[in-house]
Amino acid sequence: MTDRGSRIALPARAPASARRTPVQRFALLLSRTWAWLFLALMVLFFVASVPLASGGAVNFLTIRNSQNILVAIIPVLLLGLGQTFVIIAAGIDLSVGWVMSLGSVLSALALRWAFNGGAPLFPAVLIGLIAGVGGAAAVGFINGAIIAKLKVPAFIVTLGTSFIVRGVAYLMSENTTVIGLPADIRAYGNDALFYYIHGEGGGLYFLHRPEVSGDLLRRMDTILPYPVLAAACVVAYAMFLLGKTQFGRHTYAIGGSMEAAVRTGIPVDRHIIKLYVLSASSAGIAGFLSTLRFTAGSAVIGDPLLLSSIAAVIIGGVSLFGGAGTVIGTVIGALIIAVLTTGLVMLNVEAFWQFIVVGTVVIVAVLIDQSRDLITGGDRGGPAA
């Protein structure tokens, strides 16, 4: 038996959870789970409204549409995943958009070079992957080294490299789409684990794209395309890395208190370099996948995605001050953006409204995040703490 009477029971400054009122507890729960709820409500809204708007001709929650959404979020998600790590460590990577472009161009060039040089298809694709991700990682290393060793703010360094990489990507692609890739790589970027043909003469096919045309082709859905599986693997790895490993713990620690991280002997400089290599590499993977998907390398593919990826990260609950956030949050954030844009298109809302809605969601997300502090009365280790 421990003698509880003689213990030092230090009084907590913030009210203990037991002393919160039911209303406070509910508000706290809501603020933590709102992204899931919002996603669910949004899906319900589109499920109800899309058939209404189309007179029953179109449904929102079909196999085809769900797969379209999954394919659509891949680049935003991959850019956002690396960004999640960087922002949790209180950094920012503005270069990922153009790094993705560089990854696309490099992988296309390398793949074409290898294939034209006589390499079989699979090794050629592998060479494309190595070139795309390797080139991107090199940019990440430069970003990280300048930020960690020369102490230049991440915002400025990655802004600078973003311009540099943009120039390099255009130069390497000679300001045009990199074409002439073997047509068969289309399978890598578009084929799927399952195919399902609805109705008469149809069925479920596994790992094998049925050779059909006309009406049957129109009734065929692809389920779990390879790029979606690849992205799922990256998501799983990111969740493991951030949530289960020392690397993840140190990422949170650096974002929570750089000073504490340094003083407790965490190799902070090396860790920061690794973070930017990670961020650039996942952008490189995004570029590589887009090359497979479009059978072409493009220097313009990544740029428009940068801000969407940061929006996904923010909606997912990553604090821009560092120290807080999850991988699954970013996945939800990316899903919210994709469901919103797809749903609005299906409602025939003019495309520009997408931007207005996404922007509003970003701001609301941050407001909800801040309101949590009002509820708990705690600080979150931000600059105001």
Partner 1 sequence: MTRPLLSVRNMTKRFGGLVAVDNVSWDVNPGEVVGLLGDNGAGKSTLIKCISGVYHAEEGEIFFAGERVRLAHPIDARRIGIETIYQDLALANNLDVGANIFLGREVKKRYLGGLIQTLDNKAMLRESRQTLDALKIQFPTLTQPIETLSGGQRQAVAIARAVYWDAKLMIMDEPTNNLGVPEQKKVLELIRRLRDQGVPVILITHILPDVFAATDRLIVMHRGRKVAEKVTAETNTEELVQYMVGARDDANAGVDAPPG
CA distance 233 to 311: 22
* 26 vs 240, beta carbon nearer partner 1: 240
Within 8 A by CB and 6+ apart from 166, the residues are: 98, 101, 299, 303
Measured distance CA(84)–CA(203) in Å, rounded: 40
> What residues contact 80, with CB distance under 8 A and at least 6 apart?
309, 310, 312, 313, 316, 330, 333, 334
| Other residues' Cβ atoms within 10 Å of the Cβ of residue 297 | 32
Nearer to partner 1, 142 or 275 (CB): 275
Residues 6+ apart with CB under 8 A from 34: 368
- Is 333 within 8 Å of 39 (Cβ atoms)? no
* Shortest spacing between CB 31 and partner 1, in angstroms: 15
| Least distance between partner 1 and beta carbon 378 (Å) | 5
| Least distance (Å) between residue 385 CB and partner 1 | 7
Q: How far is the CB of 89 from partner 1 (least distance, A)?
A: 11
> Taking Cα atoms as reference points, which of 279, 291, 285 lies closest to residue 133?
285
Let me know: does 379 contact 385? Beta carbons within 8 Å. Answer: yes
Instruction: Give the Cα separation of 356 and 340 in Å (integer).
Output: 11
Q: Which is nearer to partner 1, 131 or 266 (CB)?
A: 266
Count CB-CB contacts under 10 A for residue 80.
Answer: 34
Q: Quote the CA–CA distance of 345 and 354 in Å, as a whole number.
A: 8
Q: Which CB atom, from 236 or from 356, has the smaller least distance to partner 1?
A: 236
Interface residues with partner 1 (CB under 8 A) are 2, 4, 6-14, 16, 240, 244-246, 248-250, 252-253, 255-257, 259-261, 263-266, 323-324, 376, 378-381, 385
Question: At its nearest, how many Å lie between partner 1 and the CB of residue 374?
Answer: 15
The dihedral built from the CA positions of residue 135, 136, 141 and 142, taken in this order, carries a sign that is: positive
Least distance from partner 1 to the Cβ atom of residue 92, Å = 18
Alpha helices in 182-267 (DSSP H): 186-190, 214-218, 226-244, 246-256, 258-263
Q: How many CB atoms lie within 10 A of CB 86?
A: 29
In the bound state with partner 1, the residue whose beta carbon lies nearer, of 17 and 62, is: 17
* Residue 254, both tokens: 């650096």
Q: Measured from the CB of residue 262, what is the shortest distance to partner 1 in angstroms?
A: 8
Among residues 203 and 265, whose Cβ is nearest to partner 1? 265
Closer residue to partner 1 in complex, CB, 103/323: 323
The label of the residue with tokens 């620690």 reads 253
CB of 77 to partner 1, least distance (A): 24
* In the complex, minimum distance from the CB of residue 257 to partner 1, in angstroms, rounded to a whole number: 5
- Of 149 and 244, the one with the shorter C-beta distance to partner 1 is 244
Sequence letter at residue 221: D
Give the gyration radius of the chain's Cα atoms.
Answer: 23
- Measured from the CB atom, is 43 or 318 closer to partner 1? 318
